[in-house]
Amino acid sequence: MTKGFDVRASTQPADAAVRDTILANPGFGRHFSDHMAHVRWTVDGGWHGHEVRPYGPLMLDPAASVLHYAQEIFEGIKAYRHADGSVWTFRPEKNAARFRNSARRLALPELSDEDFIGSLKVLLAQDSAWVPTPASASDECSLYLRPFMIASEAFLGVRPSREVDYYVIASPVAAYFKGGIKPVSIWLSSHYNRAAAGGTGFAKCGGNYAGSLAAQSEATANGCDQVVFLDAAENKWVEELGGMNLFFVYKDGRLVTPRLTGTILEGVTRDSILTMATDLGLTPEERPISIDEWREGIASGEITEVFACGTAAVITPVGELASEDGRLDLTANAGDVAMRLRSQLLDLQYGRAEDTRGWMTRLA
Ligand SMILES: *Cc1c(COP(=O)(O)O)cnc(C)c1O
């Protein structure tokens, strides 16, 4: 057990039979494990009260600032069961560092690596039975971990909250796309932007997601799965999807992704792909890419593949780019490089390949 966390075990954990039924068909983000981790922060007391307690509703004052001013951040990371039964996670120090960056931007207190990674370990010490066991190498089940931090002070004035709570909850998940990987169609939003210079684009905060939902609804209304955002200043440069980063494969072997300018979320999957690219003989490149370069690259055959990436869906080929100007079919481009990177990443995460970079951390 990680030092410093008090454990109050649930007196009503799910029965093994109920849990097994859930684990056999978990869906995504609908079911939760028996416990949650919690750490409290106050201006005067700093971080304290480290605990694991039964999963359940929070008591929040209706005036809690998070409910009014959205002072909130979160993370998304998975726990994978390996063939020997052990449970591992992927590059948690990257998520811990990003959580601190997000905290600074949202004027929330920073949580140490020790508390961030420690909270995952103590929760898994209680709830490791909630990590599903893959039935085969193509079974992408895992326990999705959701650390988050909220401003809980009851105060309607506008200033950083003097009371904050950090929690981690856990949800068993199947593959993000049920029925196997199929290329996603994406809608190019012409009415909405996700982030602007000086804003919160690089922070993983709930507000960014709230702001992306109208654009996502527009995508859905146009028969698309996801929305892609351009930069807010010129409406010209490709940034990312609502919750995934984008990559472009060129026929000469370049692997291009938009450079981080403060308006793009620094994905752990994105960074891992840039690092692994050279193993597959690709040349990674971080630079601005315009929507015209994308369209022209597809037309000329310079761009051979486009894919999206993130923890939840891993790597997903993009099969269509649609906008008010028409629809561009990319299914002929959906493919090979994305799928090779995808297996390389999954083999590592599920312990089927050697962890030469020290990216895996054991949780249970
Ligand atoms: C979380 C997230 C990503 C993907 O990041 P990963 O660390 O790879 O999961 C990409 N874009 C946005 C907006 C996100 O919130």
Other CB atoms within 10 Å distance of the CB of residue 266? 17
Binding site membership of 73 for ligand 1 (Cβ less than 6 Å):
no
Residues 189 and 324 in one domain: yes
Cα of 212 vs centre of ligand 1, distance in Å, is 13
C-alpha 256/C-alpha 260 separation (Å) is 12
User: Is pLDDT above 50 for 1?
Assistant: no
**Which amino acid would we find at residue 141?**
C
Place of tokens 């996801």: 226
Q: Which of 265, 273, 359 to mutate to test the pocket of ligand 1 (most atoms within 8 A of CB)?
A: 265
pLDDT at 334: 66
CATH code where residue 82 lies: 3.30.470.10
Measure Cα distances from 306 to 66, 252, 291, 298, 317 in Å: 37, 14, 13, 9, 6
Binding site membership of 109 for ligand 1 (Cβ less than 6 Å):
no
Q: Is residue 356 part of a domain?
A: no
pLDDT at 138: 87
CATH code where residue 307 lies: 3.20.10.10
Binding site membership of 201 for ligand 1 (Cβ less than 6 Å):
no
Strands 238-241 and 245-250: unpaired
Cα of 319 vs centre of ligand 1, distance in Å, is 20
- Closest atom of ligand 1 relative to the 271 alpha carbon: 8
Averaged pLDDT score across all residues of the chain? 95
- Closest atom of ligand 1 relative to the 95 alpha carbon: 7
**Which amino acid would we find at residue 28?**
F
Binding site membership of 360 for ligand 1 (Cβ less than 6 Å):
no
- Closest atom of ligand 1 relative to the 311 alpha carbon: 9
DSSP one-letter code for 57: -
Binding site membership of 239 for ligand 1 (Cβ less than 6 Å):
no
Residues 169 and 189 in one domain: no
What 3 state SS string does 151-218 have? ECCECCCCCCCCEEEEEEEEEEECCCCCCCCCCEEEEECCCCCCCCCCCCCCCCCHHHHHHHHHHHHH
51 burial via Cβ count (<10 Å: 0-12, 13-18, 19+): middle
Residue 332: pLDDT band by 50, 70, 90 thresholds?
A: confident
User: Is pLDDT above 80 for 177?
Assistant: no
Cα of 76 vs centre of ligand 1, distance in Å, is 8
Q: Is residue 364 part of a domain?
A: no
Contact assessment for residue 116 and residue 99, using Cβ atoms and an 8 Å cutoff = yes
User: Is pLDDT above 90 for 333?
Assistant: no
User: Is pLDDT above 70 for 103?
Assistant: yes
Give me the mean pLDDT over the 92-103 stretch: 98
Q: Which of 101, 204, 359 to mutate to test the pocket of ligand 1 (most atoms within 8 A of CB)?
A: 204
Contact assessment for residue 110 and residue 103, using Cβ atoms and an 8 Å cutoff = yes
Proportion of the chain above pLDDT 90, given as a percent:
92
Proportion of the chain above pLDDT 70, given as a percent:
98
pLDDT at 330: 87
C-alpha 230/C-alpha 188 separation (Å) is 8
Residues 195 and 114 in one domain: no
Q: What are 70-93's pLDDT values in tens digits?
A: 999 999 999 999 999 999 999 999
Residue 2: pLDDT band by 50, 70, 90 thresholds?
A: low
Give me the mean pLDDT over the 241-260 stretch: 97
Residues 148 and 198 in one domain: no
Q: What are 271-324's pLDDT values in tens digits?
A: 999 999 999 999 999 999 999 999 999 999 999 999 999 999 999 999 999 999
Cα of 241 vs centre of ligand 1, distance in Å, is 9
Contact assessment for residue 183 and residue 320, using Cβ atoms and an 8 Å cutoff = yes
Residues 210 and 287 in one domain: yes
Residue 137: pLDDT band by 50, 70, 90 thresholds?
A: confident
C-alpha 317/C-alpha 183 separation (Å) is 5
Residues 274 and 306 in one domain: yes
- Closest atom of ligand 1 relative to the 201 alpha carbon: 13
Cα of 264 vs centre of ligand 1, distance in Å, is 9
pLDDT at 3: 63
Give me the mean pLDDT over the 258-272 stretch: 97
Q: What's the structural domain count of the chain?
A: 2
Binding site membership of 244 for ligand 1 (Cβ less than 6 Å):
yes
Protein residue with least CA distance to atom 2, ligand 1: 243
pLDDT at 283: 98
pLDDT at 56: 97
pTM of whole model > 0.85?
yes
Q: Which secondary-structure segment (H or E) carries 255?
A: strand 254-257
Residues 339 and 278 in one domain: yes
Give me the mean pLDDT over the 95-106 stretch: 98
User: Is pLDDT above 80 for 108?
Assistant: yes
Higher pLDDT, 210 or 190: 210
For residue 82, what are the domain limits? 6-174
- Closest atom of ligand 1 relative to the 94 alpha carbon: 7
Q: Is residue 354 part of a domain?
A: no
